[in-house]
Structure 1
Amino acid sequence: MFDMLLSPFLQYGFMQRALFGSLVLSVSCAPVGVFLMLRRMSLTGDAMAHAILPGAALGFVFFGLDIIPMTIGGLLVGLLVALGSGVVARFTIQKEDASMAAFYLISLAVGVLLVSWRGSSVDLMHVLFGSVLALNDAALALIVSIALVTFVVLLIFWRALVAECLDPLFLRSVSRIGAPVHFLFLILVVLNLVGGFQALGTLLSVGLMMLPAAASRFWSNEVRAMCLIAISIAVVSSIGGLLLSYHAAMPSGPAIILTAGVIYAFSALAGRRGMLASALTSGRHKTA
């Protein structure tokens, strides 16, 4: 048992780096995912994850697999897409979900074409699915920096974020910070997706953000508790996924997300607010 659980992380430096990066991402992304879920913007997070691809691809075209240009490009384009879809939704008859879908589909197509034009299929797979086992010092520094920014913003604006999430009309009626807090939150989403992109690629980066958050909903109804549960699930998913990828020779990113998916399925079935609990409660009501 010791060899199975601890030996990979004690023997190999790349596993230690992968574990550190995944754990920091777990602690940073999971609370953001909870707020996305409560805002009913889960698919928006997925769309924004795809939207960073053209910026990262432009950095790749001109500088290769250099983390700084790809990160800056992904961040700028992600914010541009979020802002552009919001402007279209605000000044036209189109809803935000439709405009976001249009922007993300265009972004995904442009990004894949750019990477395919300059690089090989291996480069395309790296950009789309990441490589958590190949995190370098620059990538780890970026992930830690994004986590610190996330912690500071959540600490300072926690009450405003919760209020804007649960009752945005009330917040706007009593304060003028509603719109700035919403935009600040979108920046947090893009930042964490850019951090996740380094390890999990553009297609899977949203998985570590949304699956633990969605699973936490089956265990609690309180925002702070859901954030803590989501972090715990993300941490377990990261450790379990890395061990699964090591012992079963699986790609590490998909293994982490698959582990989170298994925990989500278990939570949906056996959680305090899951299907079994609902069935038992309804059965008691019928008996009574």
Structure 2
Amino acid sequence: MRIIRRCGQVAAVVLAAVLVTATCAVGDNNPNGTVFRAVGWFKGKSEISADQIKCEIPTISSAIGDGSFALGLWNTYGRATIYYPDINNPFGNPCGVWIQLRNSLINEGIQLDHVQLSYKIKGAQRLQGVVPTRKKFPQACSAFRHDTQFVGARMDPVNSTTTTSDSGAPNVVFIEMLPLVQPELFDCLRTEYVGRASSLFVSLSLIVHATAFGTSDNGDSFQSNTIAYSLNLRHSCGNGRVDDGEICDPTTPFNSCVDVCQSGTCSQSGVPCDPVSNPCPAGLCTAQDIPAECVCVF
């Protein structure tokens, strides 16, 4: 055993594998996120309905693990995919997405500066013949392959007795990534992939890699470990069945836009009706590969 003195602390180090949960600062040295760690993706508790969206900011005790989501490339149940997460869209994960960051330094806080995002399409090479790809991303969308969100938050030392964080722990913060995916990236992906037959692919798996950057109280720069988020973009309209996220499908062997008369009003069109004398009219399902695809029109 040998004794090593760092940062005014005395640590007994056994020359064998040991697990250290609190670490003193070593500038620009953060192996596997042991000092400045991106713990993962989370969201807060929520109450979501067609009328209102209520979200809680996640804390150590209430955070719900996240990391993946699915929505339509054009829309979900008729609600347009504009950006992600969409705080105004009940189908757009309005209460996510939050990244948890943790400081394990003793006696030193870390000031978060920015989070760097990079994107790729899982399995992009499979579609290389119809969509030219480089580094697992459409070449035409290369300008949107990276993004940076500048955010300010402080993580106090792990041994701090006071805190500036609302997370429930002085050395932990939750940062909302809003948006995680910009409208321009969605527009470019639609330009490249929409129009391809749903038999070629039924979804795009957009992988988002996030890395946080911060500075400790003594001026050392730290880069966190990188964590990944998966956003599954559905492309199933026109395949002959009504899938999750769709109101109807224009190629089903039956009319999937049948309205129902309930208490004198058609449930979808809202027009007056009578089950016997004035039944609800059948609607038409919009075609695929347009913004309002797989939506009933009455």
TM-score, normalising length: structure 1: 0.24
Structure with greater helix share of residues:
1
Q: Name which structure has the greater RCO, CA cutoff 8 Å, separation 6+.
A: 1
Give the TM-score normalised by structure 2. 0.24
